[in-house]
Structure formats: C-alpha cells, structure tokens
C-alpha cells in the first residue's frame, strides 16, 4: 500500500472553513493521514498537550509518537498522558519510565484491581489529543502499527476529526478534568459551538456518572431520521433502545445501511453480530462487510446533515460501561463529505443479502453464531455492571 498516495488522497477531503479560509473541522482517516496530523499537532504545541487513549503500543508507531511527545517535553511543553490500565497493560515499564524521566506526566486509568474496586468493564476508551486548547484530534484510532498500516498491510478502517474551533477548548477542559481527577467533567453539559455554517459539540458517555450524551445523540438522530442512515460500526451489538430506534426508522421506509467487519480482531463478536444479520435484513437494513482490514470505525451520518465520529461502539459496553468521547457535527457540507466517503467504502465491500446468508448458513454455522451471541451478550452485561459494585467501603482511601 502506497502511504504517500493515501495521504495525498485523504488530504483532498474537503473541510469546513470560514470565508477567510480558517479551517474548523476535517474528516481524518486511519493510516498515514491520522498519524501525520498527530505528529504535526504535537510538534507545533507551545504550552500544553493532553493525550488520552485506550491502547498505546510499544511498536514502531508507538515509539514514533512517544519520541514526538518527549521532544515536546524537552521544549518545555507540559505533556499529560492518560492511558487505560487494561488497554495499555502491555506497555513495558521501561517505556513508561522513559516518558516520566523526560518530564512527561503519565498515569493509568483504573487499574484492574485496587483496594476498593474490581474494575473490568469501566474503561477509559477515549482516543483524543488536544494541544494548547486550539487544535484537537478525536476519534476511534488508537496508537499502534495496526492503526497506521504499512506497505504490506492496510490500516484498520477507522475515523477521527480534527478540530480548529472552540470545541477544542472544551476538549482540553474535559481531558484536564479526567487527568487530574477533578470530577467536574460530569457537570459539564454538551454545548454546540458555531463554526461557520456548522454546529460542533463534544459528547461524553459515562453512564456511571450520569453522562449518556453519545447514546442519546445516536438514538435521537436515528429516531428523527427522514431519508437515510449510514453507520460504520465495529463490535456491532446494539442494545434494545438503539435497536428499536433503527427498526422504527426502517418501518418508516428510511434507507438504512450498516458497514460491518468481514474480518475482526475479536472473531467471537463478529460471529455474534452475524447472528443478527437475518433480523436486520428482514427489517430492510442493508449490510455491507469490509474485508480489506479490520473494521474499527465508530461513525454515522443521518440525512446528509448530521454526523458523529468518536470512540463509542454500538453495544452495551459503550452505553453503560466505558468512558467514551465523540464529536457531533450538524453540517450539510460535512455530512455530505462523510456520506461520500461511506459510499466509496461500500463500493469496496461485499453486500450481505438473504441469498448470500443462505449460502453461508448451516446447522453448525447457525449454532456457532447463536452460541457466540449468547456468550458475548452475557459477557458484556457482566463486564458492564460488575465494575459498579464497590467493595471494602470501610477501608476506602
């Protein structure tokens, strides 16, 4: 794969801008597109960088970004890194210590075991970097080779947005609150900022803290759809609320398409999702499988006027367990750009129909999918709600 070619193509993606040419928001793709932008944001930072991600790998891509962050710290930029203790558990101590030795402030969110809690499902699932409260990247892309790709391997299919607007200030405030455990982020209400003809806002989802903004935004947008819904979804197992909204939209004759994983990093979840195919098709939802790489994207477009991109998966773990962050964009121009990108992806997908589903079917295949569905749904419920049980309250520090 020619990454220079990919970056040139992605740079052609239109962005929203003011009459004076000032950019507000750009659609960003996984691969070279994302990581060139990430390096540029870090390298241009002057005062403060917040980076929060679920997975930070000790590989070529991870070391490249770590070196950029170290160089920023050497320029006397304040660098704050928040990593999930489970997602980034594989980072060696030497990697972490090197960052600390260069003056970077780093901490891990929610160790799996602590004196007061047994945490599994409540993970810090953000994928965000913000510099100087003015420029930010938010999406579903972790830091590692598989999200970057190389000459022989396609990057995982995923999206982010780059912001150059007041919403970046909101992100810096939220990231700071999470890093320093201020807790005030739970009190911050989502605000849509004007950016030219667009309205852009940062949404949180942390059910334990009463924040369900991303889930609510999806449900409301789907419920109010008038013409078309297109969703790119990894680990697609929507709960009853979102499922009912999708079915209701389809019953109203709204054209609905979902782009799902043909291959997955979690095969059990892919088989569980396939168990839903017949039901989705029966409700006239069109299904497209992407087979060139793993689908890791979490994005949607409704009626060519509303879009959402971020870390939130359409399943109960994201709805009720993890801490998620998305960007909501109310803009015809951005939605049309995203829709065009989705259509390009669909043109390279395999469409799943009742006929292709029958060709795949068999007693053992159907049984395997059903068993996978039951296991995954049960596991997600377990992982989602177990972390909210508190132990040893009398000995809390």
Question: How far is residue 389's CA from residue 42's CA, in Å, rounded to a whole number?
Answer: 39
> Is 205-384 in CATH node 3.30.499.10?
no
Question: How far is residue 32's CA from residue 45's CA, in Å, rounded to a whole number?
Answer: 20
Domain 3-189 belongs to what architecture? 2-Layer Sandwich (3.30)
The DSSP result for 222-291, as a single string, is HHT-SSEEEEEESS-B--HHHHHHHHHHHHTT-EEEEEEESS-SSHHHHHHHHTTHHHHHHTTEEEEEE-
Cβ-based neighbours of 313, under 8 Å, separated by 6 or more: 233, 234, 235, 236, 298
The ranges assigned to domains in the chain are: 3-189, 205-384
Residue 302 carries which DSSP code?
Answer: E
Per-residue CA distances from 99 to 69, 70, 104, 147, 196 (Å): 8, 7, 6, 22, 39
The DSSP result for 34-55, as a single string, is HHHHHHHHHHH-SSEEEEEES-
Going by C-alpha positions, the residue among 157, 137, 150 that lies closest to residue 296 is: 157
Given a cut of 60, is residue 387 above it in pLDDT?
no
In contact, 360 and 98? CB cutoff 8 Å: no
pLDDT in tens, 87-120: 999 999 999 999 999 999 999 987 655 544 555 6
Residue 195 carries which DSSP code?
Answer: E
Question: How far is residue 321's CA from residue 67's CA, in Å, rounded to a whole number?
Answer: 32
Cα 21 → chain centroid: 28
pLDDT at 115: 45
Region 1-5: what's the mean pLDDT?
36
Tell me the pTM: 0.88
Minimum mean pLDDT among 189-193, 261-265, 306-310: which range? 189-193
Tokens 């940062």 found at: 202
pLDDT at 361: 85
Write out the two tokens for 341.
């990108």
Cβ-based neighbours of 145, under 8 Å, separated by 6 or more: 57, 59, 60, 61, 62
Phi-psi region of 196 (alpha: psi -120 to 50; beta: other; left: phi over 0): left
Select, from the ranges 11-20, 36-45, 112-121, 183-192, the one with the highest average predicted confidence (pLDDT): 36-45
Given a cut of 70, is residue 82 above it in pLDDT?
yes
Given a cut of 50, is residue 156 above it in pLDDT?
yes
Given a cut of 80, is residue 330 above it in pLDDT?
yes
Question: How far is residue 163's CA from residue 239's CA, in Å, rounded to a whole number?
Answer: 30
Q: How far apart are the first and last CA of the chain?
A: 52
């Amino acid at each position: 794969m020619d990454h220079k070619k990919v970056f040139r193509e992605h740079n052609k993606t239109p962005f929203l801008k003011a009459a004076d040419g000032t950019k507000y928001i750009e659609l960003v793709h996984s691969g070279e597109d994302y990581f060139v932008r990430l390096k540029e944001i870090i390298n241009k930072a002057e005062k403060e960088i917040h980076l929060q991600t679920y997975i930070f790998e000790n590989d070529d891509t991870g070391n490249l970004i770590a070196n950029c962050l170290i160089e920023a710290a050497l320029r006397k930029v304040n660098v704050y890194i928040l990593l999930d203790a489970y997602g980034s558990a594989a980072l060696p101590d030497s990697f972490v210590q090197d960052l600390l030795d260069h003056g970077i402030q780093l901490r891990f969110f929610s160790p799996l075991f602590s004196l007061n809690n047994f945490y599994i499902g409540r993970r810090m699932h953000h994928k965000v970097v913000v510099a100087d409260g003015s420029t930010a990247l938010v999406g579903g892309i972790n830091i590692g080779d598989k999200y970057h790709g190389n000459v022989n391997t396609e990057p995982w299919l995923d999206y982010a947005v780059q912001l150059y607007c007041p919403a970046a200030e909101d992100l810096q405030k939220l990231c700071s609150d999470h890093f320093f455990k201020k807790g005030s982020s739970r009190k911050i209400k989502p605000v849509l900022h004007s950016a030219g003809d667009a309205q852009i806002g940062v949404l949180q989802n942390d059910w334990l803290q009463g924040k369900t903004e991303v889930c609510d935004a999806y449900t409301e947008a789907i419920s109010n759809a008038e013409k078309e819904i297109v969703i790119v979804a990894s680990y697609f197992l929507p709960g009853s609320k979102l499922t009912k909204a999708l079915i209701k939209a389809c019953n109203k004759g709204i054209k609905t398409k979902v782009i799902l994983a043909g291959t997955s990093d979690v095969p059990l979840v892919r088989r569980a999702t396939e168990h839903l195919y017949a039901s989705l098709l029966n409700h006239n939802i069109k299904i497209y499988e992407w087979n060139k790489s793993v689908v890791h994207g979490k994005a949607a477009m409704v009626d060519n006027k509303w879009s959402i991109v971020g870390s939130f998966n359409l399943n109960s773990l994201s709805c009720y367990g993890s801490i998620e962050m998305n960007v909501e964009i109310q803009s015809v121009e951005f939605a049309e750009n995203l829709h065009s990108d989705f259509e390009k992806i669909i043109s390279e997908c395999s469409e799943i129909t009742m006929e292709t589903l029958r060709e795949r079917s068999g007693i053992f295949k159907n049984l395997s999918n059903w068993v996978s569905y039951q296991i995954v749904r049960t596991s997600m419920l377990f992982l989602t709600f177990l972390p909210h049980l508190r132990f040893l309250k009398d000995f809390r520090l």
